[in-house]
Amino acid sequence: MAGNFTGRYLSNDHPGPGKLVMNKNIVITALLLSAIVVACATSPTGQRQLRLFSESQMAEMGSASYTEMKKKTPAAKEAAPNRRVQCVSNTLTAVVGGSWEVTLFDDDAANAFALPGGKIGVYKGLLKVATTPDQLAAVVGHEIAHVQAHHSNARLSAASLTDVGLQIASTISGGSAKGQYMMAALGLGTQVGILLPYGRAQESEADVLGLNLMAKAGFNPNEAVTLWQNMARQGGGQPPEFMSTHPSHSTRIADLKARMPKAMQHYEQARAAGKKPNC
Ligand SMILES: [Zn+2]
């Protein structure tokens, strides 16, 4: 068999299992590089994107990571915060469509995430910073926007050309249990100790898309500015996903204000159409 032949050949040439692993990685790299030719796409705001993975592969990774998260972190039991998180998330996802699962985790971190495959996670600590439904919608909307804009796919595709990316790629193709790399690629790096953050351009794009999304759902987009101001005041500790690689707070707030007139149009249209979320 071809696989055996390759293995014997390599072990004669350079003994040791390391060489065999390298050989596997070279094969994966070659496969990924050959896929690049057909994988260039455009993000919702017109950025060029490399997408090497199919929607169903991304959804599978998202679901597997979510299952992993739920094993590690218990869900919060309190009724009122659960109601608010479900209500805000469902109102937002009604705008983008599809079916989504939402979990409020019993964790003090001020963080949230959304994953391909329709998964949303909010940590209880976020509710101390995002103190109103509109502010919570700003964060969850930003996270959903990352998914809408295929940022995990783009980031994972770019990372496939690096060492960490090779480990991710071999996880996917080999099916072995190296879930932490997969989770890092999906924006859960802080949870598993491997940082593979979204790029600054992706953060800005998620801000713009998220702002319009919350407005279309009937949440007041001005509250996004208040939210980031709250976050800036909070400071210290581990920066949550939606703060980690972004330009300074003042740049972010200035960018949001520049986008506000358009977002307010969406908001007023939504309100006129009777979208008045009561979360
Ligand atoms: Zn983000």
Which has more confidence, 173 or 245?
245
- Is the pLDDT confidence value at 276 over 90? yes
Q: What is the pLDDT of residue 242?
A: 58
Q: What is the pLDDT of residue 172?
A: 54
Catalytic residue flag (residue 101): no
Which has more confidence, 183 or 194?
183
Q: Quick one: tokens of 59?
A: 């959804």
The predicted-structure confidence for 144-156, as pLDDT tens digits, reads as follows 999 999 988 887 7
- Is the pLDDT confidence value at 7 over 50? no
CA of 28 to the centre of ligand 1 (A): 29
Helix intervals (H) in the chain: 2-13, 17-36, 55-72, 79-96, 133-148, 151-159, 163-174, 179-183, 189-192, 200-216, 222-234, 241-244, 249-272
Q: Which of 11-20, 162-171, 268-277 has the lowest mean pLDDT?
A: 11-20
Residues 55, 60, 78, 143: which is the catalytic one? 143
CA of 32 to the centre of ligand 1 (A): 26
- Is the pLDDT confidence value at 271 over 90? yes
Mean pLDDT of all residues in 211-215? 98
CA of 1 to the centre of ligand 1 (A): 47
| Residues β-bridged to residue 50 | 40
Coil vs helix vs strand at 40: strand
CA of 152 to the centre of ligand 1 (A): 11
CA of 52 to the centre of ligand 1 (A): 21
Q: Quick one: tokens of 65?
A: 């990571």
Quote the mean pLDDT of the chain.
78
Q: What is the CA radius of gyration of the chain?
A: 21
Helix 163-174, helix 151-159: angle, nearest 10: 110
CA of 131 to the centre of ligand 1 (A): 19
Residue 244 CA to residue 18 CA, distance in Å, equals 35
Q: Torsion angle, CA of 57/60/62/66, rounded to 10 degrees?
A: -170
- Is the pLDDT confidence value at 22 over 70? no
> What is the full DSSP assignment across 74-143?
PBP--HHHHHHHHHHHHHHHHHH-S--EEEEES--S--EEEETTTEEEEEGGGGGTS-SHHHHHHHHHHH
Mean pLDDT of all residues in 58-76? 89
Which has more confidence, 188 or 108?
108
The predicted-structure confidence for 99-138, as pLDDT tens digits, reads as follows 999 999 999 988 899 999 999 999 999 999 999 999 999 9
Beta-sheet pairing, 112-115 with 48-50: unpaired
CA of 242 to the centre of ligand 1 (A): 4
For the purposes of burial, counting CB atoms within 10 Å of the CB of 56, is it exposed (0-12), middle (13-18) or buried (19 or more)? exposed
Q: What is the pLDDT of residue 28?
A: 59
- With cut-offs at 50, 70 and 90, classify the pLDDT of residue 163: low
| Residues around the ion ligand 1 (C-beta < 5 A) | 203, 206, 242
Q: What is the pLDDT of residue 175?
A: 43
Q: Name the phi and psi angles at 43, rounded to 5.
A: -75, 170
Q: What is the pLDDT of residue 13?
A: 36
CA of 191 to the centre of ligand 1 (A): 15
Residue 242 CA to residue 144 CA, distance in Å, equals 11
| Type of residue at 241 | E
Q: What is the pLDDT of residue 76?
A: 97
Q: What is the pLDDT of residue 174?
A: 46
CA of 195 to the centre of ligand 1 (A): 13
Percent pLDDT > 70 in the chain is 67
- With cut-offs at 50, 70 and 90, classify the pLDDT of residue 27: low
- Is the pLDDT confidence value at 268 over 70? yes
| Residues β-bridged to residue 115 | 119
CA distances from 52 to 41, 55, 160, 194 (A): 10, 10, 9, 21
Mean pLDDT of all residues in 75-91? 98
Q: What is the pLDDT of residue 29?
A: 59
Which has more confidence, 229 or 25?
229
